[in-house]
Amino acid sequence: MKLLYFAWLRARIGQAEEELALPAEVRDVAGLLEWLRRRGGGYAEALRDLSVVRVAVNHDYVGPDHPIRDGDEVALFPPVTGG
Amino acid sequence: MIRVQREDFDAGVELDRLAEGDHGIGGVASFVGLVRDKGGAEGVSALVLEHYPGMTEKKLAEIEAEANRRWPLSASLIIHRYGRLEPGDRIVLVATASPHREAALAACHFLIDWLKTDAPFWKSEETPEGERWVAPRAEDDDATRRWVKE
């Protein structure tokens, strides 16, 4: 699984992307966020308030119930501010 | 057509090109977004626009396809820049061409509203204290919701 971080999430986590073997207990987006938060440090700080975290799986916005599979590209970022 | 690029664009040239060769087009509507100077009190010297390559193009293409479903457009164009931009610089161009003005104007408005809340771009401001991430505006969400069909 490929994880990508953008904007202030990237700054707090301290890297733009990482490759990760999908942990056995992670089944959906909510589970992944919880698992990442438990890694502590910048992850815990970046994911403290999930109301300002958006998630995309394979380039589409998804909600907390969306399943995660090994090989997915999962991106975490704040609400967008383009235009 | 979608273009995501670091370089500037010439809006006049782009609008001419959009209508070129199709004499069924009766009007071209456009919106050009600029980097706004907030008055200097906050010490912002520039904006840096970051995006998510791959997803950006996909979302912009989906938004453009939706505009084409809703209105009879002859042509449409979205150009969005990324990288470091200074006050006065162009950020985005949305242009729509149609036989009649109503469709062109409405579709152009729809595209810029929808793009602001759906396309994965993030602005950070350069300040003397370092980068400061721009917070989304609730008004932008409201503007997009206007276009959601009940």
**Residue B41 in this model has a pLDDT that exceeds 70:** no
| Buried residues in A22-53 as b, exposed as e (16+ CB within 10 A) | beeebebbbbbbebbeeeeebbeebbeeeeeb
To 10 degrees, the CA torsion angle through B17, B21, B24, B29?
0
Nearest to A59 among B54, B115, B116 (CB): B54
List the alpha helices (DSSP H) in B27-100. Answer: 55-70
> For residue B140, what is the enclosing H or E element?
helix B138-145
CATH architecture for residues B2-145: Alpha-Beta Complex (3.90)
Euclidean distance between CA atoms A23 and B20, whole angstroms? 54
Contact (CB, 8 A) for B122 and A81: yes
Class for domain A24-77, per CATH? alpha beta
ipTM of the complex: 0.94
Q: Which residues in chain A have Cβ-Cβ distances shorter than 8 Å to B92?
A: 82-83
Contacting residues of A for B54, CB less than 8 Å apart: 59
CB B50 within 8 A of CB B124: yes
pLDDT band for position B43 (cuts 50, 70, 90):
low
Instruction: Answer whether 0.90 is exceeded by the pTM.
Output: yes
Cα atoms found within 13 Å of the Cα of residue B105, Cβ hemisphere only: 3
Domain ranges of chain A: 24-77
What's the whole-number mean pLDDT along residues B18-39?
A: 93
- The model's confidence at residue B39, banded by pLDDT at 50, 70 and 90, is low
Tokens in use for A39?
A: 């890694």
Q: Say if A72 is an interface residue toward chain B (CB within 8 Å).
A: no
Give B148's contacts (C-beta < 8 A, 6+ positions apart).
Answer: none
End-to-end CA distance of chain A: 30
Handedness of CA B46, A8, B64, B5 (dihedral sign): positive
Q: What is the pLDDT of residues B75-117, one digit of tens each?
A: 999 999 999 999 999 999 999 999 999 999 999 999 999 999 9
Which residue from A6, A11, A81 is facing B136, i.e. has the nearest CB? A81
Which residues on chain A are in Cβ contact (under 8 Å) with B124? 7
Contact of B37 with B43, CB cutoff 8 Å: no
Q: Would you state the pLDDT for residue B42?
A: 64
pLDDT at A63: 96
A44 touches chain B (CB under 8 A): no
Q: Given an 8 Å threshold on Cβ–Cβ distance, is A80 in contact with B117?
A: yes
How would residue B128 be classed by pLDDT, with cut points 50, 70 and 90?
confident
Which chain A residue has the Cα nearest residue B121?
A82
| Under 8 Å between Cβ of B121 and B51 | yes
How many residues are given for chain B?
A: 150
